[in-house]
Chain A
Amino acid sequence: MFWRIFSFELKYRLGRPAGYIYFSILFLFTFTTVIYGGFSPSEKAYANSAYSMSAIILIMTIFSLLISSAVMGVPIYRDLEHRTHTYLFSYPIKERDYLLGRFLGSFVVLIFICLGTQFGFLFGSALGPYLGLEEAERFGPFSLSAYVIPTLIFTLPNMLFTGAIFFALVALTRQVFATYVGSILLFILYLVANTLTADLEYRNLVDLLDPFALNTFNNTTRYWTPEEQNTLIPGLTGNIFWNRLIWLSVSLLILAFVYLRFSFTDFLAVRSGKKSKLKEDTKQVQPSLVTIPSVNTYFTPQVFFRHMIRLARLEFTNIIRDPYFLAIILGGVLFLFLDGWFGSGLIYGTPSFPLTYYMLEAKNGTYIVFVFIIIIFYTGETVHRDKSVHFNQITDALPIPNWVQYGSKFISLVAICFFLATMVWITGITSQTIQGYFNYEFDKYFTDIYLITFPRYLQLLMLAFIVHVLVNSKFLGHFISIGIWLLMFGIRNIAEVDYNLFFYTYRPPYLISDMNGFGHFMSPLFWYNFYWLCLGGIFIILGAIFWNRGTESSRQSRLALAKQRLNRSNIFGLALLGLLFIGSGGYIYYNTNVLNSYSTAKQNRLRAVDYEKKYQQYALLSQPKVTDIKVWVDLYPYQRAVKGKAKMTLVNKTPDSIKELHLDMNSPLNQSQITSITWNGAKMKIKEDDERLKYRIYELPKAMRPGQTVTLKVEIDARNAGFVNSGFSSGVVYNGSFVNLGIFPSFGYNAQRELTSDKYRKKYDLPEKKYVAPPQDDPNGLRNFLFDDDADYVNFDAIVSTSANQTVIAPGYVQKTWEENGRKYFEYKMDKPMLNFFNISSAEYAVSQDTWKNPSGEDVAIEIYHHPTHTYNLDRLNEGVKAALDYCSKYYSPYQFRQMRILEFPRYANFAQSFPNTVPYAESFGWVGDFSDPDDTDYAFHVTAHEVAHQWWAHQVTPSATRGANQISESMAEYSAFMVLKHQYGEESLQKFLKYSLDRYLGGRAQESKFEATLLDNDTRQYVWYSKGGLVLYTLQDYMGEDTLNKAFANFVKEAAFREKPPFATSGEWYEHIKAVTPDSLMYLVEDCFEKITLYENRTVEAEYTKMENGKYRVTMKVDTKKKYYDGLGKETSQGKKADLIEIGIFAADGKNKQGMTRKTPLYVKKHWLTPGQHNLEFIVDKKPEKAGIDPYNKLIDRVPDDNLISVSES
């Protein structure tokens, strides 16, 4: 019997088109992904690598939730739906045969459908090299096991899991809607696991909790280098094994439960409602004696209008009382809450205060998925409500006009949208209250939710509405509605077209800032919302015309009906909305394409290609250098404009005579022009003016001789007019402008503008670009500074003005301030040469002041310019400044300025940057962090220390424009910050910082798109200069002593600080100083760290203790150590053979340091010389040990940092 049911199920399925459609969708999606380059973040990994295969399979199994619910939900429901259950179950079939047959039959079909992914991958890999969408060399060889293993360990268990759930839901509830809710709940489970991944501490838990094992896979492979991604296949080991075991068991348990519980009688039982409590009227009525009273009926517009409102209210309550709706909205609100709590404000694992904008931004997280689901599904429910209970023939014949029926449904859904929007602020305020934060900014909530977000939800609704009206089949309607969004998403992301005017409901991004409010974003938001609402309105009118009333749904009859319904008023409506739609679209086009310019990612690449091809010839062209610069800059925050004048003294420091001045005309402001430019007072002739590539060449009136000095005066007028398609265009804003030197044109060819991706370079016939910077012995590199090759150190003066209510800040010291014409003026002057690197910031600031005494007893003023309400962390920033000034001036050299200023700018960018005596700091980065939990990473302190250290490492020792030189700036600043932290918090608390650095380094090299360079050579990789550099230098001071290493740095500063003439500082020079202080025994470590790519594989295998008679404890441990060398692509080249010095530590239970932060309590920590391989070690400690391990603080770069320290058990 089983076989017959099983094969019937298979045959039935094979005869239906749905399975083939699902298969094709998966096939096409995977095929497209592969031919466009696969999932690897690195260009050096194959598009069809084993890693890519597993990643795609996993992601597709999650997307297949929907398919799984459609396939596995129906095999039993089909009998209910077609009412075949009424007789089928009376046949001599055993329940178990029936269940198993239906389940397995459908499951086999489901697996066949899911293999669409594997086939898509196979065909993509085979055809990819010939289609030319991706370089042929990115397609690696075929490997059978790369297909078979992921299929077995990912596809099968994942589909079994979702299949079992959906099958069980329908078998036990008899409701097909239960599968929708089931898929949503599963999705929630998966996302909950996802929100936890941000914190390193939870990784093991997440690995086990994720039913799809995607997180498990990501965590297992997160440090895989491109080479490893190509060759390794994840196997059933470690957390993947445990995860699969858990979820496979869960699936089987579910199936077993259904198998035991299911019975035909239950399935057939008539569900009678609860017994009515009302006492039944027992009085018998004689029907024939009753006469039907005559009634008055009224059919006036007022009556109809009342009907519409009443029906809308009914629909609305129908929806919100639906238990499934409640389940979904609860899920949504849960995510709104979680995202608001953990989400946007989390930096290095540290939360921010629950500011209103964070609460608002939570709506763009997972909640939007729920909004989509609710809008699409409940639009379907509402539109088809009468039909789905077969009551439509009665309601359609009722004497109410179409607009009452149609309008009521639309209005009820509008109310749902309103409800969804409202939940955002209710959840936000609740969350803020729970967190003890009571600064509810109702104006922000109102503006964002009702003026920006609600219209967008309306737009979503309008599209879903017309689709459901036109398609007239619930399931197909859902499918098409979701399909439209996936299509738009795909086009924007894969085809790289992001022109918002073409993508329904899309609009430019915006950010709310405490400093600048909604700022300049209100105008584009209004116009885009208006534009899309007009289109939505057209949808709604069309929907009314095509509204399906009656029993016929063929295309002809609906067209015929639509023709009848066209009348003057709806034609007028369509025409009016059409005009407004086109009109507002035109206005948007005028802003984004006429006032500003729009280009696609491809056009931008082509521009970079042309720039390089046309002007690279001038890369080494001799240009003068600035020695003195005086600027007059007038900021007009409310006009978003800036007028600037620069008077520069130029010297020809080259041996050549200079005949032309080449200007890079790129400006951070969208409309920028040179209004005047003179050379020693004389006008210059424009030889070439390339508007597209922003390159201009002036002929000098007279050639500039070597050593000659001239005065160049440039005036510019720049503004952000109108609005743009994408990006924040945040240079000059109402409050919190932040512009830099870039508002003035710079000299010569700019290699930064070249295309860096080798994949694209090859496509456009450009040579591979291994490095951006030239080698360390390149004379041109050595004679320029890294940050700006237009000048060495300069004398700087600035007269800056802004609107009367703002303060404007530039490097240097204020000479005087005055008001003139209702504007505020400031004169700044720097009293010694500085880098040609300045910012001009203007906002309504409050100031907090302090002083720091330098070692010679002089006062250094500390000023913190902040947004008036952002006073949370002023002390912390102030402490960071002082601690860093203390440390650096103690160990390196005196601080060169009399003042240090920290200032805040809006959160449109998320960084801090160090200018001479000035550190601008983004609003979201430190100012609003909540550091009340001492165990959270104190990044405000850390980053402040880092930026202050740059006053030495960049502003005193300025790196040359050569390969590796930026390590002098960034690695040194990061190292200094670590050292400041160590003195502040104690070494025992530092592991968390080290581990984050290690994680970023290992993660960074896994995503490398060229090759990993060493500390001496690296020119572009942040993960090398910050994460590896900081960590390695910290380790060196630990191994050789802080004073010893700092001596080397002091020597380096003495030799290289404020160097006026080339050759400027290189990483080689820095390295020589380090080697000079390194003892011979540690030379291997220095070479491993700086010259090579070295990774340890240290692991503690076991650790046990016994209590001895004298009250002490004997600890025995088995540790394993290995050291491997890699090439830049991540391929292992050799292994270390000699003994290395590695720390062994034994710890009691964790304690707290003086700031309340968790610290390790060492019982024994000492470095040992260990040869590669296993070692059995034995120690005696005084107290009861808790944990023990090798390299317990993660000082060495270790591939698997988590297995170093383990719990000690009693033997």
Chain B
Amino acid sequence: MKLLIKDLSKTYSNGVQALKDVNLSIGNGMFGLLGPNGAGKSSLMRTIATLQEADHGEITFDGINIKQDKQELRKQLGYLPQEFGVYPKITAEAMLVHLAELKGITSKSERKEVVEALLKKVNLWDVRKKRLGTYSGGMKQRFGIAQALLGNPRLIIVDEPTAGLDPAERNRFHNLLSEIGENTIVILSTHIVDDVSTLCHDMAIICKGEVVLRGNPLEIVEQYKGKVWKKIIEKTQIESYRQEYQVISTRLVLGRTLIHIFSEEAPGNGFEAVEADLEDVYFSEISQKMEVITV
């Protein structure tokens, strides 16, 4: 089972080019899509979820061309959009039962069973009889996750799913995703690097509509080994360091500025070697496309 994305391009009517020749082949398991805000993640996710169409290129899932056969894809799809609202006056349980039916679960007992399991799974069982309008942001998000998992989807697309979740909920969610059967493709879009490094065995970094890097997170980080250096400097020095080195990131540590740079060889000048992590890779990749200023 494979999701193949070929030469996908999309320009919106306001002139913004959201996707540029995106090519990806995604297999079973968790796939992380990492990128800054406005990188085109959501556009890509929505295109896969049949909610919009690309100008060029095509997407096939398990042999289905999704542009030509949207319905066939939707039958196997679980989708959690980045932003969504709820009907305020209906209870979570009733709404899930309703959606389960629309997802093709025609047996009443099966519906009941699966809704119950999902509500427990996302820890909403206690509040299942409460109206969705009274839910907090995190509860709403968990409801969204539950609906995406209805009906044994084989392709799950979750767009920024952990936004608004507290750390405990986030862990639980990570566990939940990793439990999902192996025979499933899960695409997780996020701008949180940790999410990807803990969960995904495959990933892509996307920036300004282009895939700038893809591969296994561990292997990617491996390539950066010994090439990232750090140094603590004064805030006023940042500009001069930028001109001299390929600065990956800058951050404040106890009132002083810590910078990471990329260099094939030891740069000297007080730089220390640092264990590269995915974040360094991420910043390094996108800093080639856009200016990343974190201080």
- Chain A residues with CB under 8 Å of chain B are 271-273, 276, 278, 280-282, 285, 287-288, 290-299, 303, 307, 310, 314, 389-391, 393-401, 549-552, 554-557, 560-561
Instruction: Give Cα A39 to B86, complex, Å.
Output: 51
Q: Looking at the complex, which one of B46, B88, B128, B172 makes contact with A287 (CB distance below 8 Å)?
A: B172
Q: State the Cβ distance, A898 to closest chain B Cβ, in Å.
A: 78
- Which of A273, A287, A389 is the one whose CB lies under 8 Å from B131? A273
- Which chain B residues lie closer than 8 Å to A294 at the CB level? 152
A390 vs B88: C-alpha distance when bound (angstroms): 11
What residues on A are CB-neighbors of B133 within 8 Å? 271, 273
Return A277 CB to nearest CB of chain B, in Å.
9
A394–B101 CB distance below 8 A: no
- How many residues of B sit at the interface, in one of the four size bands? 35 or more
B151 contacts chain A at the CB level, 8 A cutoff: yes
Q: Which of B13, B81, B152, B179 contacts A393 (CB 8 A)?
A: B81
Q: How far is the CB of A547 from chain B (nearest CB, A)?
A: 13
For residue A272, which residues in chain B have a CB less than 8 angstroms away from its CB? 134
- Is B77 located at the chain interface by the 8 A CB criterion? yes
Q: In the bound complex, how far is the Cα of B152 from the Cα of A298, in angstroms?
A: 12
Residues of B within 8 A of A391 (CB): 84-87
Partner of B117, one of A280, A282, A291, A401: A291
- Interface of A, secondary structure class, is loop
Do the beta carbons of B53 and A560 come within 8 Å of each other? yes
A464 CA / B76 CA spacing, docked (Å): 35
A555 touches B13 (CB 8 A): yes
A394 / chain B contacts, CB cutoff of 8 Å: 79-81, 84, 99, 144, 147
Contact of A551 among B52, B75, B123, B126 (CB under 8 A): B52
State the Cβ distance, A325 to closest chain B Cβ, in Å: 14
Chain B nearest CB from A1057 CB (Å) reads 82
Partner of A293, one of B49, B104, B117: B117
B266 at the interface (CB under 8 A from A): no
A285 touching B81 in the complex, CB below 8 Å, given contacts A296-B105, A398-B74: no
Docked-complex contact A296 and B126, CB < 8 angstroms? no
A281 partner residues in chain B, CB cutoff 8 A: 125-126, 128
Closest to A274 in B: B131
State the Cβ distance, A47 to closest chain B Cβ, in Å: 47
Whether B51 lies near A397 (C-beta < 8 A) is yes
0/1 string, B70-98, CB within 8 A of A gives 1: 01001111011101111111000000001
Whether the Cβ atoms of A292 and B149 lie closer than 8 Å is yes
Please give the distance in Å from B63's CB to the nearest CB on chain A: 17
A399 in complex: contacting residue of B46, B71, B118, CB < 8 Å:
B71
Residue of A nearest to B157 (CB): A397
**What is the CA–CA distance of A281 and B13 in the complex, to the nearest angstrom?**
50
Q: List 8 A-B contacts (CB under 8 A).
A: A287-B120, A295-B111, A295-B113, A295-B151, A298-B106, A393-B83, A397-B79, A399-B77
A3 to B206, CA, bound (A): 48
In the assembled complex, the CB of A397 is this many whole angstroms from the nearest CB of chain B, namely 4
Roughly how many angstroms separate A900 CA and B225 CA in the complex, as a whole number? 120
User: For B205, what are the chain A residues with a Cβ–Cβ distance below 8 Å?
Assistant: none
Q: Is B50 an interface residue (CB 8 A)?
A: yes
Instruction: Please tell me if the beta carbons of A390 and B114 are within 8 angstroms of each other in the complex.
Output: no
Q: Which residues of B contact A280 (CB under 8 A)?
A: 126-127, 129
Assuming A299-B75, A397-B51, what are 7 further A-B pairs, CB within 8 angstroms? A276-B129, A281-B125, A292-B121, A293-B113, A296-B105, A296-B106, A394-B80
Whole-angstrom distance from the CB of A314 to the nearest CB of chain B?
8
Do residues B114 and A389 form an inter-chain contact, with CB atoms below 8 A? no
Residues from chain A with a CB closer than 8 A to the CB of B49 are: 393, 397
Closest Cβ of chain A to B53, distance in Å, is: 6
State whether A390 and B102 are in contact (beta carbons under 8 Å apart), knowing that A287-B122, A292-B114 are contacts in the complex.
no
The answer to whether the Cβ of B37 comes within 8 Å of any Cβ in the partner chain is no
| A273: chain B residues within 8 A (beta carbon) | 88-89, 130-131, 133-134
In the complex, per-residue mask of B217-254: 1 if CB is within 8 Å of any chain A CB, else 0: 00000000000000000000000000000000000000
CB A992 to nearest CB in B, in angstroms, measures 56
When distances are taken between beta carbons in the complex, the residues of chain B under 8 Å from A557 are 13, 52-53
Query: When chains A and B are docked, how far (Å) is the Cα of A299 from the Cα of B76?
Result: 11
Write out, one digit per residue, whether chain B residues 262-274 have a CB within 8 A of any chain A CB (1) or not (0). 0000000000000
Chain A's closest residue to B51 (CB) is A550
Asked if B107 is at the interface (CB within 8 A of a chain A CB), the reply is yes
Q: When the two chains form the complex, which single residue of B79, B84, B104, B113 contacts A303, counting CB atoms closer than 8 Å?
A: B104
Q: Looking at the complex, which one of A285, A295, A401, A551 makes contact with B152 (CB distance below 8 Å)?
A: A295
Beyond A393-B79, A554-B12, whether A307 also contacts B102 by CB under 8 A is: yes
A383 vs chain B, min Cβ distance (A): 16
B260 close to A (CB within 8 Å) = no
**Would you call A297 and B105 a contact (CB within 8 A)?**
yes
| Residues in B neighbouring A285, C-beta threshold 8 A | 120, 123, 125
Which residue of A is nearest B127, CB measured?
A280
What B residues does A389 contact at CB under 8 A?
85-88
The distance in angstroms between the C-alpha atoms of A292 and B13, with both chains bound, is: 42
Does B194 touch A at the CB level, under 8 Å? no
Report the 3 A-B pairs with minimum CB-CB distance, sorted nearest first: A390-B85, A297-B104, A554-B13
B117 CB contacts on chain A under 8 angstroms: 290-293
B101 touches A397 (CB 8 A): no
Contacts of B50 in A (CB 8 A): 396-397, 550
B100 nearest in chain A by CB position: A295
Beta-carbon contacts of B142-155 to A below 8 Å, as 1s and 0s? 00100101011000
> Is B41 an interface position by the 8 A CB rule?
no
A288 to B176, CA, bound (A): 7
A560 to B103 CA separation, bound complex (whole angstroms):
27
Residues of B within 8 A of A310 (CB): 101
**Is the C-beta of B110 less than 8 angstroms from some C-beta in chain A?**
yes
- B130 and A276 contact, CB distance less than 8 A: yes
CB contacts (< 8 Å) of A551 on chain B: these are 46, 51-52
Contact between chains at B104 and A298 (CB < 8 Å):
yes
A287, B123: Cβ atoms closer than 8 Å? yes
A316 to chain B, nearest CB (A): 15
Residue of B nearest to A396 (CB): B51
Residues in chain B near residue A397, CB distance under 8 A? 49-51, 74, 77, 79
B175 within 8 Å of A (CB atoms):
yes
Query: In the complex, what residue of chain A is closest to B146 when comparing beta carbons?
Result: A292
User: In the complex, which of the residues A314, A390, A395, A399 contacts B104, with contact meaning CB atoms closer than 8 Å?
Assistant: A399
Q: List chain B residues, Cβ under 8 A from A290.
A: 117, 120-121
Residues of A within 8 A of B172 (CB): 287-288
Residues of chain B within 8 A (CB-CB) of A303 are: 104, 106
Residue on A with the closest CB to B175?
A: A288
Smallest CB–CB gap between B71 and chain A, Å?
Answer: 6
- A393 to B157 alpha-carbon distance, docked (Å): 12
With both chains docked as a complex, state the minimum distance between the C-beta of A552 and any C-beta of chain B, in angstroms.
4
Whether A295 touches B79, Cβ cut-off 8 Å, given contacts A399-B71, A550-B52, A555-B13, is: no
Provide the residues of chain A in CB contact with B84, threshold 8 Å.
Answer: 390-391, 393-394
- In the bound complex, residues from chain B placing their C-beta under 8 Å from that of A396 are 50-51
- Chain A residues closer than 8 Å to B123, beta-carbon distance: 285, 287
Tell me which residues from 43 to 74 in chain B have a Cβ below 8 Å from any Cβ of chain A: 46, 49-53, 71, 74
Give the distance to chain A from B196, nearest Cβ to Cβ, in Å: 22
Contact residues in A for B86 (Cβ distance below 8 Å): 389, 391
Residues in chain B near residue A393, CB distance under 8 A: 46, 49, 51, 79, 81, 83-84
A399 in contact with B103 given A297-B152, A557-B52 (CB within 8 Å): yes
A817 CA to B85 CA, complexed, in Å = 82
Cβ–Cβ contact A297 & B151, under 8 A: yes
Q: In the complex, which residues of chain B have a beta carbon less than 8 angstroms from the beta carbon of A295?
A: 105, 107, 110-111, 113-114, 151-152
Across-interface contacts of B46 in A (CB, < 8 A)? 393, 550-551
Q: How far is the CA of A295 from the CA of B112 in the complex (A)?
A: 11
Given the known inter-chain contacts A394-B147, A550-B50, A557-B52, please indicate yes or no for A296 contacting B175, CB distance below 8 A: no
Nearest CB on A from B124, distance (A): 10
Contact A287 B176 (CB under 8 A): yes
Of all chain A residues, which has the CB nearest B131?
A273
Pick from A291, A307, A396, A555 the residue with the most CB of B within 10 Å. Answer: A396
Q: Decide if A297 touches B75 in the complex (CB within 8 Å).
A: yes
